[in-house]
């Protein structure tokens, strides 16, 4: 049992259930300035990875006034249907963001695209808008255009479908979100009724194909969103299988934050003369204060986290943990101390994850604890702090995590707990 700190905690959320965590490592271990990290291979096994120098987690943020991007186009310049222009205005889009400005004209020409862009750069609209236009133009034809969009997590897939519904308003165009954790029977009914956009995760899409419910042979447009994350999660075989079921003559769009050797192989195999577009600005955001917190033992670690959460400015905090049960354990401990907190991981029901994320986005809770898999693909505004309560397995993972704060020209803070 932990005692209450004298400082009164911020109260924003509700407790979640917990399980007692088991130590991740057994036996005595000496820690210097680094520790072994592990990467999960495609088959789900852990393989020894890079050793991370903790000094790489320390960097003073500098709020740099970046020159605003000057777009070459306005949304009115794009040759969209009048109703689509109305939907764009209704969504509040004024000036295209860099990935939209550079990608939309290329997609409208029917070319394959490899886009390097992080979450939160506007890439969803960058591919949805021209693909909606493409489907509109085939309306009334015998074989109406179908679009397949693959995403790494159910949250991102559902977010894409939500954006689609707003942008496709008034066209009588339907979609289905093929994701795990939600009733497959409902998804089957929607597919059988007829849809133009199939948006899903690799696992559920493969399941529907194996059941011979889903026919992708008329999909002449394919999008792989956050392709690098899907590979990280071990979905390579599913990705290859699913793409193989789509039309041979197709327009293929890959979006990824990195260009790994594996991603490069996939682009060479599936993209025909692609146009390469990158809006990646740098390794880390310059306006993020990065530091480490050295701790001895579990109790001191929790007490120091408590202190951080009670500091002024810790308004919206995203905490990363490595294991599912450790997410629940920490959420329960913080809830005992009066914090309003939610936790998400792969074992939670889809509806519960959606509810908790919605509460965090609406500031009904101000602390969200998540595993990397559960948090991938999420675009949550105004996160003030990212806390690595467990040291990330790789430096690339660290970069991906801390990129959730310090956005839109605001300062952010990234803290990593390391052994003293």
3-state secondary structure the chain: CCCCCCCCCCCCCCCCCCCCCCCCCCCCCCCCCEEEEEEECCCCCEEEEEEEEHHHHCECCCCCCCCCCCCCCCHHHCCCCHHHHHHHHHCCCCCCCHHHHHHHHHHHCCCCEEEECCCCCCHHHHHHHHHHHHHHHCCCCCCCCEEEEECCCHHHHHHHHHHHHHHCCCCCCCEEEECCCCCHHHHHHHHHHCCCEEEECHHHHHHHHHCCCCCCCCEEEEEECCHHHHHHCCCHHHHHHHHHCCCCCCEEEEEECCCCHHHHHHHHHHCCCCEEEECCCCCCCCCEEEEEEEECHHHHHHHHHHHHHHCCCCCCEEEECCCHHHHHHHHHHHHHCCCCEEEECCCCCHHHHHHHHHHHHCCCCCEEEECHHHHCCCCCCCCCEEEECCCCCCHHHHHHHHCCCCCCCCCEEEEEEEEC
pLDDT at 172 (0 to 100): 92
Mean pLDDT of 166-186: 94
The mean pLDDT of 35-50, rounded to a whole number, is 40
pLDDT at residue number 350: 78
Q: Do domains 34-64+286-419 and 75-278 have the same CATH topology?
A: yes
Question: What is the second-level CATH architecture of the domain 34-64+286-419?
Answer: 3-Layer(aba) Sandwich (3.40)
- Confidence (pLDDT) at 34: 39
Residue 114 — very low, low, confident or very high, per pLDDT cuts 50/70/90?
Answer: very high
Is 284 or 359 the better-scoring residue by pLDDT?
359
pTM over 0.85, yes/no: no
Going from N- to C-terminal start, the domains of the chain cover 34-64+286-419, 75-278
75-278 fold? Rossmann fold (3.40.50)
């Amino acid at each position: 049992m932990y005692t209450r700190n004298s400082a009164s905690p911020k109260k924003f959320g509700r407790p979640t259930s917990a399980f007692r965590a088991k130590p991740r490592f057994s036996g005595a271990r000496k820690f210097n300035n680094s520790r072994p990290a592990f990467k999960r291979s495609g088959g789900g096994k852990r393989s020894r990875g890079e050793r991370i120098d903790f000094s790489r987690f320390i960097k003073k943020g500098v709020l740099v006034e970046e020159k605003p991007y000057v777009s070459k186009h306005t949304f009115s310049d794009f040759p969209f249907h009048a109703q689509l222009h109305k939907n764009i205005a209704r969504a509040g889009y004024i000036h295209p963001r860099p990935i939209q400005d550079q990608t939309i004209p290329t997609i409208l020409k029917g070319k394959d695209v490899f886009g390097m862009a992080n979450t939160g750069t506007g890439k969803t609209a960058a591919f949805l808008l021209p693909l909606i236009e493409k489907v509109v133009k085939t309306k009334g034809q015998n074989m109406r255009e179908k679009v397949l969009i693959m995403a790494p997590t159910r949250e991102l897939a559902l977010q894409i479908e939500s954006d689609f519904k707003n942008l496709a308003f008034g066209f009588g165009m339907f979609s289905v979100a093929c994701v795990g954790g939600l009733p497959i029977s409902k998804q089957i009914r929607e597919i059988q009724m007829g849809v133009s956009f199939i948006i899903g995760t690799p696992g559920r899409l493969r399941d529907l194909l194996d059941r011979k419910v889903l026919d992708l042979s008329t999909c002449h447009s394919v999008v792989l969103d956050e392709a690098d994350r899907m590979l990280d999660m071990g979905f390579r075989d599913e990705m290859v299988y699913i793409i193989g079921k789509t039309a041979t003559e197709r327009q293929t769009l890959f979006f990824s934050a990195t260009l790994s050797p594996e991603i490069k192989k996939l682009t060479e195999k599936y993209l025909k003369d692609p146009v390469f577009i990158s809006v990646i600005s740098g390794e880390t955001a310059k306006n993020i204060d990065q530091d480490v917190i050295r701790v001895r033992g579990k109790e001191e670690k929790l007490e120091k986290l408590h202190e951080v959460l009670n500091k002024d400015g810790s308004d919206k905090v995203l905490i990363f943990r490595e294991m599912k049960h450790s997410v629940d354990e920490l959420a329960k401990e913080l809830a005992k101390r009066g914090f309003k907190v939610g936790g998400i991981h792969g074992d939670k029901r889809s509806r519960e994850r959606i509810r908790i994320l919605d509460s965090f986005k609406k500031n009904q809770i101000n602390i969200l604890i998540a595993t990397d898999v559960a948090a991938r693909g999420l675009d949550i505004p105004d996160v003030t702090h990212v806390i690595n309560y467990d040291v990330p397995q790789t430096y690339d993972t660290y970069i991906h995590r801390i990129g959730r704060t310090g956005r839109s020209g605001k300062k952010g803070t990234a803290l990593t707990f390391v052994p003293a």
